[in-house]
C-alpha cells in the first residue's frame, strides 16, 4: 500500500465505489475489505474522494513538519498556486504571515518553480526537437506512464516538477533550509518521499487548515496584485500552455486532463498516431484546482478558476533559470507484479460467475470493472471475488428462493398494499384449483380469497398466525398465517392444507358420536330391565327401607 494513503478497515462497508472510480483498478478486495495495491496505484486520490464511509485517509505529515520546525533549521514553505482557490480572498502575504506564526521561516509561491519548469519545456522543444513532449508536473501522470505505458517514458519531459524546482532553489538560496510543500495533492507526498533530499515534508490544504485552527490563527483576507506572476496559472487546465510565451509553429499544443482522457491519449501515442505535439497532462479534471483534497472539501470549478485567473499576472516571475543539469529528472519503469491468466482460466472463472455464454456477460460495471472478462482477470490476480458480481448474486439468490418457493408443500401468496397478487406458488394454486399462476397475477385477491383478513393485517400492521379457516368455495380447510413486511410493503400469506387432517378428525368425531349413541341405547335398554325388576321387588324394598331407617334413627338417638 502506498505510504501516503491508508485505510480504516472498520469503516469499509464493501460497497465497491472505490473500485468503480479507480481508473487503473488498483484496489483489491479481500475479507469484505478494500486494499490498495501499492505497485499499481497512481495516487490520483479518487478513492479518497468518493468513499462514502471516509475509509480512505491521506497520511498526515503535520507532526513531521513540527519536528522540522523544532530542529532549529530555517523551514520554508513552498505554497502551491491553487491556495488562492482554497482560501477565498487570501493572498500570499496573508498566507506568509499565518505560516510564520506557526513557526516557519518564510513562505513562497511554488509558481516561482513553475516559471523555471515552463522555460525548460520551451527549451526541450526548441533545442532538442522532441517529437512528442508530455509535461511532467503531475506525479500521478508520471506514475501512470511509469507503470502502465513504459514505452511512452521517452516522451515524458525529463524535467523536475514545479515543487521540486522551487524547493531546490530555496535550498540553494537559504543555507541549511528545510522545505515543506503545501498543496491539494496526494501524489506529491509520494514524489517527495521517492526523490529524497529535495522536499522534506508535504502537507495538504486540509492539514494546514486544521493546524491553523488548533493554533487559533485566522487568515486575513487581503490580496496584493503582482504583475510578474503569470505562472500562477499552472494549477488550472491549460495553465502551463498559458504561461508558454514561445510557441513553435510546427508543434500542436494541447491539454488533456482526467486519468481516463490521459489513458486514451497515451494509447493513441502508443499506436503511432501522434507526432510533433506538446501535451499538458493532468490526472485531475480541471488540473490541480480539481485535486482530491480540493474536490472533496472545496469543489467549485468555475469560482476556483476565476480566483486563480484574477490572481495571476501577465508576466513571468523574475527568477534566474537554473542550469539544465539541475532541472533534469529521470523516470524509471515501475513493474507491476500481476500475472495474466490464460483464455482457459478466464473461461473457467466466467463459468464460476454464471457466465456460460457471451450473451450472459452483461458487462454492467456494478462490480467496478468495465467488463466481465476484466473482472475474471481480477479474480485470477486475487484482486476481486466472485461474490462482487451483483447480477450473479441476484440470480443466485432468486434461484435459491424460487427453489424453496416452488418446492415447499405450503401455499404462498404475496400481495402488494393494493391487495394485488404479486406472486403465487404451485401449492397455493393447487389448494384453490387455479390452473396457472399467470391466471391471477396482478388481480385483486378478492377474486380468489376473502380479503378481510388481509385488510385487517394491513390496517393493524400485526400478523395473524396459524388461523384455521374453511374455504367453502374450494371445500378446503387451511391453517393460515398472514404477515405484513413494512419495508417491501408486501403482505405474505402462508397456507397449509389441513383438509385431510380435518376430515380425519371429523371421521373420528363421527365414530365417537356413533359409539356414544350405541352406548346410550344399551344404557336405556338396561335401565328399562332394571326398572321392570324393581317393580317386582318394590314392596320388599320398601319394607327394607323402613326397617333400616328406624335402625338408623335409634342409633343416632343413642
Interval 531-550: pLDDT, tens: 777 666 555 556 656 655 66
Helices (H), 149-238: 162-173, 187-194, 205-214
pLDDT band for 466, please (50, 70, 90 cuts).
Answer: very high
What pLDDT was estimated at residue 525? 79
> Is 488 strand, coil or helix?
coil
Q: Is residue 543 part of a domain?
A: no
Checking if the pLDDT of 7 tops 60, the result is yes
Same domain as 522, residue 493: no
Cell triple for 32:
469484505
Same domain as 53, residue 116: no
Cβ pair 218, 97 in contact under 8 A: no
The CATH number assigned to the domain holding 350 equals 1.10.15
Cβ pair 114, 231 in contact under 8 A: yes
Q: Is residue 540 part of a domain?
A: no
Q: Tell me the CA end-to-end span of the chain in Å, nearest whole number.
A: 114
Q: What is the mean pLDDT of residues 87-100?
A: 96
Q: Is residue 154 part of a domain?
A: yes
Please tell me what DSSP assigns to residue 481.
E
Q: For residue 489, what are the domain limits? A: 409-497
Same domain as 214, residue 75: yes
Same domain as 226, residue 135: yes
468, 497, 526 — which closes off a domain?
497
Same domain as 200, residue 118: yes
389, 407, 425 — which closes off a domain?
407
Same domain as 243, residue 349: no
Residues 6+ positions from 245 with CB-CB distance below 8 Å: 122, 316
Q: Is residue 23 part of a domain?
A: yes
Distance CA(496)–CA(411), nearest Å, equals 6
What pLDDT was estimated at residue 81? 97
449, 473, 497 — which closes off a domain?
497
Same domain as 511, residue 444: no
What pLDDT was estimated at residue 408? 84
Which of residues 29 and 284 earns the better pLDDT score? 284
Cell triple for 244:
508558454
Cβ pair 67, 170 in contact under 8 A: no
Same domain as 114, residue 10: no
Checking if the pLDDT of 91 tops 90, the result is yes
Q: Is residue 330 part of a domain?
A: no
How many domains are contained in the chain?
A: 5
Q: Is residue 186 part of a domain?
A: yes
Nearest Cα residue to 16 out of 44, 41, 53: 53
Same domain as 345, residue 308: no
For residue 231, CA distances in Å to 6, 78, 258, 323 come to 33, 14, 21, 19
Please tell me what DSSP assigns to residue 218.
P
Same domain as 74, residue 50: no
What pLDDT was estimated at residue 451? 93
Complete edge-to-edge strand list for the sheet that includes strand 75-79: 106-109, 75-79, 178-183, 201-204
Q: What is the mean pLDDT of residues 363-385?
A: 80
The CATH number assigned to the domain holding 12 equals 3.30.70.20
pLDDT band for 240, please (50, 70, 90 cuts).
Answer: very high
Cβ pair 234, 243 in contact under 8 A: yes
The CATH number assigned to the domain holding 261 equals 3.40.50
Q: Is residue 549 part of a domain?
A: no
Same domain as 131, residue 266: yes
Complete edge-to-edge strand list for the sheet that includes strand 464-471: 421-424, 411-416, 490-497, 476-485, 464-471
Residues 6+ positions from 332 with CB-CB distance below 8 Å: 146
Checking if the pLDDT of 522 tops 80, the result is no
Please tell me what DSSP assigns to residue 368.
S
Same domain as 220, residue 74: yes
Distance CA(366)–CA(351), nearest Å, equals 18
> Is 142 strand, coil or helix?
helix
Q: Is residue 377 part of a domain?
A: yes
In 10 A of CB 325, how many CB atoms? 6
Amino acid at each position: 500500500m502506498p505510504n501516503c494513503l491508508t485505510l480504516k478497515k472498520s469503516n469499509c462497508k464493501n460497497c465497491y465505489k472505490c473500485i468503480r472510480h479507480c481508473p487503473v483498478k488498483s484496489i483489491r478486495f479481500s475479507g469484505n475489505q478494500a486494499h490498495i495495491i501499492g505497485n499499481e496505484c497512481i495516487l490520483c486520490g479518487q478513492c479518497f474522494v468518493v468513499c462514502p464511509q471516509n475509509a480512505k485517509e491521506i497520511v498526515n505529515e503535520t507532526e513531521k513538519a513540527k519536528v522540522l520546525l523544532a530542529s532549529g533549521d530555517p523551514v520554508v514553505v513552498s505554497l502551491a498556486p491553487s491556495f488562492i482557490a482554497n482560501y477565498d480572498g487570501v493572498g500570499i502575504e496573508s498566507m506568509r504571515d499565518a505560516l510564520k506564526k506557526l513557526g516557519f521561516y518564510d513562505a513562497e509561491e511554488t509558481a516561482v518553480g513553475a516559471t523555471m519548469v515552463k522555460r525548460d519545456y520551451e527549451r526541450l522543444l526548441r533545442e532538442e526537437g522532441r517529437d512528442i513532449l508530455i509535461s511532467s508536473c503531475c506525479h500521478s501522470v508520471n506514475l501512470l506512464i511509469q507503470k502502465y505505458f513504459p514505452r511512452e517514458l521517452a516522451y515524458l519531459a525529463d524535467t523536475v516538477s514545479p515543487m521540486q524546482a522551487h524547493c531546490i532553489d530555496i535550498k540553494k538560496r537559504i543555507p541549511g533550509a528545510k522545505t515543506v510543500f503545501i498543496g491539494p495533492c496526494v501524489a506529491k507526498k509520494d514524489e517527495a518521499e521517492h526523490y529524497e533530499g529535495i522536499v522534506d515534508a508535504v502537507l495538504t490544504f486540509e492539514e494546514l487548515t486544521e493546524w491553523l485552527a488548533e493554533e487559533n490563527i485566522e487568515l486575513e483576507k487581503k490580496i496584493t496584485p503582482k504583475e510578474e506572476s503569470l505562472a500562477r496559472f499552472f494549477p488550472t487546465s491549460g495553465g502551463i500552455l498559458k504561461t508558454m510565451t514561445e510557441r513553435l509553429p510546427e508543434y500542436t499544443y494541447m491539454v488533456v486532463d482526467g486519468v481516463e482522457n490521459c489513458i486514451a491519449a497515451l494509447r493513441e501515442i502508443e499506436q503511432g498516431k501522434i507526432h510533433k505535439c506538446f501535451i499538458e497532462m493532468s490526472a485531475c479534471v480541471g488540473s490541480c484546482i480539481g485535486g482530491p483534497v480540493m474536490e472533496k472539501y472545496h469543489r467549485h470549478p468555475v469560482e476556483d478558476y476565476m480566483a486563480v485567473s484574477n490572481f495571476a499576472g501577465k508576466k513571468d516571475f523574475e527568477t534566474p533559470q537554473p542550469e539544465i543539469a539541475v532541472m533534469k529528472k529521470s523516470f524509471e519503469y515501475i513493474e507491476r507484479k500481476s500475472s495474466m491468466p490464460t483464455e482457459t482460466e478466464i473461461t473457467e472463472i466466467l463459468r464460476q460467475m454464471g457466465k456460460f455464454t457471451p450473451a450472459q456477460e452483461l458487462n454492467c460495471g456494478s462490480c467496478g470493472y468495465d467488463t466481465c472478462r476484466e473482472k475474471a482477470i481480477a479474480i485470477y490476480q486475487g484482486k476481486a471475488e466472485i461474490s462482487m458480481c451483483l447480477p450473479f448474486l441476484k440470480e443466485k439468490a432468486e434461484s435459491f428462493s424460487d427453489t424453496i418457493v416452488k418446492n415447499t408443500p405450503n401455499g404462498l401468496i404475496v400481495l402488494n398494499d393494493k391487495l394485488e397478487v404479486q406472486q403465487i406458488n404451485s401449492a397455493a394454486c393447487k389448494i384453490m384449483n387455479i390452473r396457472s399462476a399467470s391466471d391471477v397475477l396482478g388481480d385483486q385477491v378478492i377474486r380468489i380469497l376473502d380479503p378481510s383478513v388481509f385488510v385487517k393485517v394491513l390496517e393493524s400492521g400485526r400478523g395473524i398466525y396459524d388461523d384455521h379457516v374453511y374455504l367453502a368455495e374450494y371445500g378446503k380447510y387451511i391453517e393460515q398465517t398472514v404477515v405484513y413486511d413494512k419495508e417491501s410493503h408486501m403482505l405474505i400469506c402462508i397456507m397449509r392444507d389441513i383438509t385431510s387432517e380435518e376430515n380425519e378428525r371429523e371421521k373420528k368425531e363421527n365414530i365417537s358420536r356413533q359409539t356414544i349413541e350405541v352406548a346410550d341405547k344399551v344404557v336405556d335398554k338396561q335401565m328399562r330391565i332394571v326398572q321392570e325388576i324393581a317393580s317386582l321387588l318394590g314392596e320388599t324394598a320398601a319394607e327394607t327401607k323402613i326397617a333400616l331407617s328406624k335402625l338408623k334413627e335409634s342409633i343416632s338417638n343413642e
